[in-house]
Amino acid sequence: MQVYLEGLNEQQREAVLHRDGPIMIVAGAGSGKTKVLTTRIAHLLATGVDPFNILALTFTNKAAAEMKERVEHILGNNEARNIYIGTFHSVFARILRAEAEKLGYPRNFTIYDTDDAKSVVKTVVNELGLDDKHYKPNTVYNRISSAKNALITPEEYINDYGLQQEDMRSNRPMIGQIYDAYCKRCYKNGAMDFDDLLLKFYLLLKTHPESLSKYQRKFKYIMIDEYQDTNTAQYQIIKLLGAMHENVAVVGDDAQSIYSFRGATIENILQFQKDYDEVKVVMLEQNYRSSQSILHVANNVIANNKGQLPKKLWTSNAEGEKIKLVRTATDNDEGKYVADAIQEQKLRNHYRNNDFAILYRTNAQSRSFEESLRRMNIAYRIYGGISFYQRKEIKDFLSYLRVILNPGDEEALKRIINFPARGIGKTSVEKAVLFANQNNVSMWNVLGQAAQFGYKASTLEVINNFVIMIKMFQSELQKKNAYDLSILVGKNTGLVKELFNDKTTEGLARYENIQELLNSIKEFTETPTEDGELLDKSLGSYLQQITLLTDADDDKGESDVVKLMTIHAAKGLEFPVVFVGGLEETLFPNAMSINTREELEEERRLFYVAITRAKQRLWLTYANTRYRFGNLTQNDPSRFIEELPEERLDRAFAGGNMRNNQSNQWNSFDKAKTGFRTSSQENRSATKEKPAYMVTSPVVKIKEHTPTEGFTPSDTSNLQEGQKIEH
């Protein structure tokens, strides 16, 4: 027997050995679904399948990299490098870079992140003479995003009676028109937003039969992890791509579907069996991840959901310790308690920082944990929140790179045209945008022919100098790699010098960030090239890569840090010791998600995901009082606490005066109450909850990556306003 099959259980092996034809594996957490996919790839390669013919779509780039590594390890060679493996967005962006011209986009199209996209929305809202306070960019962007993920074009949107009615009800009847104008503007700018990476790829396959057949022939074997969270666009693309060979393997768990608010639909799992004549269905029932106690608690919780596919899940792992359920007086006490517990566990059970994860429902909860960890000198890292690539100085620098690559990128151009200040004032910029609109050309074209547009002589001169400088950079594009070009830009624009001369603390931090960025570009160019075809070291390749990084990607696993992240971001991951914080009504389940059974069940699935991340030890904590939205709030314990099996719990209370790591055993514990409140006031203010509180830690340097893509855990961009707050 091949060595990679050893250790697999019978069902897992069956799934791996089923080489041809559609296969679906729906199974509970920790049952080895991802492992099966990895081993399948190894098996395909070992049985002669060309790596170029394999497409594997994962939840994060990191998961993809790990998969490649594991396959390489199994096979003992580097064949895996030629597999198309990555997130939906990164793989499709890679393909679109080769095919964009067929859709009328430049080959070096820009990928707009959500901030860029919202900024474009704001521009077109204003240009249509509408009020951006009423047509809030965030709200409008969310509508557009939902439409795109449901494959609804602007024309279809405008002609759809139901959508019109919905927009009328929210008194925003012009959203369809904004959507139309937004798409036209992005097109003119040579830019695609994240949703376009799916939508445009779908359109390419739909409207270009030769492209469809090319990729159908290429991707003979398709594999998809976390299938329960695919949305309509992703589902349709897979269906198209897989139609020729029907070698599609999907793995997922309906009990872990946590993205329905982004258009993911559980129907895709049910539909899969109907899409092909004969689908092999494999169940995995053994959990290899968690202790019996943890698994028992998880099973109990999820049993409260009505709509589940029937599944069994057992483990032969040790019973393990009971689950600690800890009530604290305040959210600060919760932070202290967790930091103390981590310290104690490190001493008592020889854990390293890396073994711990602190999970929470909303990014804002990280603050109290951070403070305590810092006080105790425990190294940590936060995933999510304001990303490194969203910082102003980083965006400014990257905007130069974007303009060099695609001068049609108006968003980037507007950012840098007068930064560092060179005397091109706001009015001059507005004029350029106006002229561009009037003449239906790009802003860059206007700047290139500024003499025709009546700028005064002094302005004309600086505009010309600016254009000459950008053109000079462009002339180096073919000759220099991403790093050398970036250095050239840093030197010639005066940007680095300006930051260097700013000796304030913030100025220094900004300067350091730019250095960090340059380091990362250097690293990118120095990492050995994999397939010469697409993973090149050019600027275009670099920009695409960083725009599509997801939260979980920035973990090289080298540093020994406690990991803090939302539960959404923790999907698919596992940790020896897990703390889940904030088990309080209105927070978890969230006040925005208790109005219907469907919403509540999704919150419960989220709780299930949280619990099942733990391998050996699990803590669940909640606070009596907590600062939220700037006010002290008092919360009842989460209703989910009631669903925990008492015999597996070890309850404790950590009060306000507790010091060090003593915790009172609280024997006469009052059982969690069922009552829950949702004051309408809280409901309203919840939408205003700020993103994660981020500070640069003196303990570890926080290096955050941009929340980007369809499945990005902390990306709140697609939330329906008033429906959910961020996680």
Contact residues toward ligand ATP (CB under 6 A) are: 7-9, 12, 29-35, 253, 256, 288-289, 572, 574, 612
**Interaction partner, residue 32 (ligand ATP, Mg ion, none; CB < 5-8 Å by kind):** ligand ATP
For residue 8, the partner it binds in ligand ATP, Mg ion, none, with Cβ less than 5 to 8 A by kind, is ligand ATP
CA distance 681 to 472: 56
Distance CA 539, CA 250 (A): 34
Q: How far is the CB of 259 from ligand ATP (least distance, A)?
A: 14
What per-residue string of b and e applies to 316-338 under the rule 16 or more CB within 10 Å gives b?
ebeebebbbbbbbbbbbbbbbbb
Please identify every residue annotated as catalytic. Answer: 33-34, 225-226, 256, 613
Please provide the distance, in angstroms rounded to a whole number, between the alpha carbons at the two ends of the chain. 45
Report what 11 binds from Mg ion, ligand ATP, none; CB cut-off 5-8 Å by kind: none
Buried/exposed code over 646-661 (b: 16+ C-beta within 10 A; e: otherwise): eebbebbbbeeebeeb
Place of tokens 């120095």: 526
**Cβ contacts of residue 692 below 8 Å, gap of 6+?**
363, 364, 366, 367, 382, 384, 385, 386, 714
Of Mg ion, ligand ATP, none, which one sits near residue 719, judging by CB under 5 to 8 A according to partner kind?
Answer: none
Residues 6+ apart with CB under 8 A from 520: 546
CA–CA dist 520, 430 (Å, integer): 34
3-state DSSP of 669-698 = CCCCCCCCCCCHHHHHHHCCCCCCCCCCCC
Dihedral sign for Cα atoms in the order 587, 590, 592, 595: negative
Smallest separation, CB 74 to ligand ATP (Å) = 12
30 binding partner (options ligand ATP, Mg ion, none; Cβ < 5 to 8 Å by kind): ligand ATP
Smallest distance from ligand ATP to CB 605, Å: 12
As measured in angstroms, the least distance from the Cβ of 561 to Mg ion is 23
CA neighbours within 13 Å on the CB side: how many for 215?
A: 25
Strand partners, 282: 25
CA pair distance 42, 6, nearest whole angstrom: 13
**542, two tokens:** 């670099």
Residue 152 to residue 157: CA distance in whole angstroms: 6
Tokens 């973990």, located at residue:
555
* Residues at the interface with Mg ion (CB under 5 A): 33-34, 572
Closer CB to Mg ion, 29 or 323, in the complex: 29
Residue 29 CB, nearest approach to ligand ATP (Å): 4
Query: Is the separation of the CB atoms in 225 and 251 below 8 Å?
Result: yes
- Cβ proximity to Mg ion: between 33 and 374 the closer is 33
Helix, strand, coil percentages, rounded to 5, for the chain? 50, 15, 35
Nearest position to ligand ATP, beta carbon: 32
List the single partner that 254 binds among ligand ATP, Mg ion, none, CB under 5 to 8 Å by kind: none
Nearer to ligand ATP, 148 or 604 (CB): 604
Answer yes or no: is 442 a known binding residue. no
Smallest gap, in angstroms, from Cβ of residue 249 to ligand ATP?
13
Taking the complex as a whole, how short is the minimal distance between the CB of residue 10 and ligand ATP, in angstroms? 10
9 binds, among Mg ion, ligand ATP, none (CB under 5 to 8 A by kind): ligand ATP
Q: Is 28 known as a binding-site position?
A: yes
What does each C-alpha distance from 406 to 66, 444, 462, 559 come to in angstroms?
33, 10, 21, 36
* Structural Rg of the chain based on CA atoms: 26
Nearest distance in Å: CB 256, ligand ATP: 6
Q: Which amino acid is at 466?
A: F
290 binds, among ligand ATP, Mg ion, none (CB under 5 to 8 A by kind): none
Which residue, judged by CB position, is nearest to Mg ion in the bound state? Answer: 34
Q: Is 34 annotated as a binding residue?
A: yes
Compare residues 189 and 315 and give the one whose CB is closer to Mg ion.
315
- If residue 57 lies in a helix (H) or strand (E), which one and from where to where? strand 54-57
Work out how close the CB of 223 gets to ligand ATP at its nearest, in angstroms, rounded to a whole number. Answer: 13
Does 30 carry a binding-site annotation?
yes
Pick between residue 256 and residue 372 the one whose CB is nearest to ligand ATP.
256
> Of 319 and 670, which has the nearer Cβ to ligand ATP?
319
Alpha-carbon distance 268 to 580, whole Å? 30
**Cα 468 from Cα 563, distance rounded (Å):** 46
Q: Which partner, ligand ATP, Mg ion, none, binds residue 52 by CB below 5 to 8 Å per kind?
A: none
Partner whose footprint covers residue 568, from Mg ion, ligand ATP, none (CB < 5 to 8 Å by kind):
none
Closer residue to ligand ATP, CB minimum distance, 255 or 719: 255
Q: Within a 10 A sphere around the Cβ of 11, how many other Cβ atoms?
A: 18
Which of 261, 310, 232 shows the shortest CA–CA distance to 601?
A: 261
CB of 250 to Mg ion, least distance (A): 12
Residue closer to Mg ion by CB (options 315, 368) is 315
Which C-beta is closer to ligand ATP: that of 8 or that of 412? 8
DSSP string, 93-135: HHHHHHHGGGGT--TT-EEE-HHHHHHHHHHHHHHTT--TTTS
Query: CA of 6: how far to CAs of 1, 21, 47, 397, in Å?
Result: 7, 23, 16, 50
Q: For ligand ATP, give the closer residue by CB, 31 or 230.
A: 31
Residues annotated in a binding site: 27-34
Residues annotated in a binding site for ATP: 27-34
